[in-house]
Amino acid sequence: MGSLQLKSIRKAFGDHEVLKGIDLEVTDGEFVIFVGPSGCGKSTLLRVIAGLEDATSGSVRIDGAEVINTPPAKRGIAMVFQSYALYPHLTVKDNMGLGLKQAGTEKTEINSRVAKASGMLSLDPYLARRPAELSGGQRQRVAIGRAIVREPKLFLFDEPLSNLDAALRVQTRLEIAALHRRLKATMIYVTHDQVEAMTLADKIVVLNAGAIEQVGSPMELYNKPANLFVAGFIGSPQMNLIEASRLNEPGASTIGIRPEHITLSSESGDWKGRVEHVEHLGADTIVYMDTESAGLVTVRLFGEHPYAPDDIVFATPDKANMHRFDENGRTIFG
């Protein structure tokens, strides 16, 4: 079991309130990811769950038991940091089993758990090595293995892939996804990387300035953002946000349209404009154009397209996929 309930979590550093009354439920086996801009409180919230930061007020319950005053070692959690936090003088095997050894676990049980975890993470050939002899991806797998052997109720990940290069991030992301399916464990994961959030999470929690803006599945957040902040934060390239008055769209303050929901033509369309810049990415072509009606607009076209700066083109939005927001930035549904 590994359920989590947060109720009215507040955290202040002096007069600065970092968390402003967080309420959240995580069910057993869920993979939940916290995202948001720098300083939004996502890492602080993770540390409050772990017990590494004391909440100013509120309740943290793990499997129904209140742990707000319980030390980290007794909460039934295991945390994986971005810095790996491995002991350089210990072998991989000893690093993975150290927490169990310190807890007084029998040696045969330690060896059994380490063997099981190393098998899951393909670390068997490296058990006798020290961290300096490993790549960054291998070190991160050791840190994950150290968490697995503890058999925790909750796995907590604090930006675990941020120190890896792009190729290793993809590989390790796949390994974490496979690990979650295998263990069926509850995982809470902090990242600034939208790709990680969209590809790993069962549920994403979008935080902003210490408060939750929206909770939902990746596609719920992408297709039905609750407000302007979520609409602009989720998705890359970012959703186009245009003043409704410019488009003669009554009943809304702002209109949103994702770049992939706009088509381009050299002959005719709704918005005439000049191409400012083009990104040729192979699978996609991203066109930035300055339009007379909507201002600067980003268009995502699938495949390769021969547009170039200063071309005069016409953009047509798919009105069925337009998002409408009121004067307070809230989505107008229906």
Task: List where CATH 2.40.50.140 sits in the chain.
Answer: 238-325
Collapsed DSSP state (helix, strand, coil) of residue 144: helix
- Please state, as a whole number, how many other Cβ atoms lie within 10 Å of the Cβ of residue 16: 8
CA distances from 120 to 87, 100, 135, 142, 149 (A): 21, 18, 18, 11, 11
Residue-level pLDDT at 83: 80
For tokens 């007084």, what's the residue? 104
User: For each of the chain's 334 residues, which pLDDT tens digit applies?
Assistant: 689 999 999 999 999 999 999 999 999 999 999 999 999 999 999 999 999 999 999 999 999 999 999 999 899 999 988 787 889 999 999 999 988 888 888 999 999 999 999 988 889 999 999 999 998 888 888 998 999 898 899 999 998 888 778 888 888 888 889 889 988 999 999 998 888 999 999 999 999 999 999 999 999 999 999 999 999 999 999 999 999 999 988 889 999 999 999 999 999 999 999 999 999 999 999 999 999 999 999 999 999 999 999 999 999 999 999 999 999 999 998 6
pTM score: 0.91
What Rg do the C-alpha atoms of the chain give, in angstroms? Answer: 24
Q: 4-229: which CATH number, 1.10.290.10, 3.40.50.300, 3.40.50.2300, 2.60.40.150?
A: 3.40.50.300
Query: Are the C-beta atoms of residues 183 and 156 closer than 8 Å to each other?
Result: no
Name residue 321's beta-bridge partners.
Answer: none
Q: Tell me what percent of the chain is helix, strand and coil, each rounded to the nearest 5.
A: 30, 35, 35
Phi, psi of 133 (to 5 degrees): -95, 5
Phi, psi of 210 (to 5 degrees): 85, 5
C-alpha to C-alpha distance for 283 and 143, rounded to whole angstroms: 35
- Please state, as a whole number, how many other Cβ atoms lie within 10 Å of the Cβ of residue 108: 8
Residue-level pLDDT at 103: 84
Residue-level pLDDT at 1: 64
Quote the CATH superfamily of domain 238-325: Nucleic acid-binding proteins (2.40.50.140)
Collapsed DSSP state (helix, strand, coil) of residue 318: coil
- pLDDT tens string 248-262: 888 899 999 999 999
C-alpha to C-alpha distance for 240 and 260, rounded to whole angstroms: 10
Strand ranges, E, within the chain? 4-13, 16-26, 31-35, 57-62, 65-66, 77-81, 154-158, 186-190, 203-208, 211-216, 240-243, 254-257, 262-265, 271-280, 284-291, 295-302, 312-317, 323-325
Query: Are the C-beta atoms of residues 213 and 220 closer than 8 Å to each other?
Result: no
Collapsed DSSP state (helix, strand, coil) of residue 57: strand
Task: List where CATH 3.40.50.300 sits in the chain.
Answer: 4-229
C-alpha to C-alpha distance for 114 and 96, rounded to whole angstroms: 6
